[in-house]
Amino acid sequence: KAGVTQTPRYLIKTRGQQVTLSCSPISGHRSVSWYQQTPGQGLQFLFEYFSETQRNKGNFPGRFSGRQFSNSRSEMNVSTLELGDSALYLCASSLYWTGEGKNIQYFGAGTRLSVL
């Protein structure tokens, strides 16, 4: 069974640009969550989608947005990039949103975003 797939793996952008990252969950998984990982702040929750609906949202500005498609694939978008947005963006998928054992999140390898 294929794992969580994130594309692209690496991305270099300049300040002010926007970027779209993609995540394909494990087959059959319906929930997709996004996290930002930086050396200073660690792993921080961005948002979670289940059945094309945003279920939870972290404390990030509105420049960070996401969506989920009917096949459970998800994209996140960051507009007006800032230097501080440089990070590893990780996507995780799980079977369901909640329910013991059903919401174990499995992570992809991430997209490394560098903002110059």
Q: Which residues bind another protein (CB under 8 A)?
A: 3-4, 31, 33, 35, 42-45, 48, 50, 55-56, 58, 88, 90, 92, 94, 97-98, 100-101, 103-110
Q: Report the residue number, 23 or 115, with the smaller CB distance to another protein.
A: 23
The 3-state secondary structure of 37-72 reads EECCCEEEEEEEEECCEEEEECCCCCCEEEEECCCC
Cβ contact 49:70 at 8 Å: no
The region, left, alpha or beta by phi > 0 then psi within -120 to 50, assigned to residue 6 is beta
Q: Report the residue number, 45 or 75, with the smaller CB distance to another protein.
A: 45
Shortest Å, Cβ 25 to another protein? 12
Shortest Å, Cβ 16 to another protein? 27
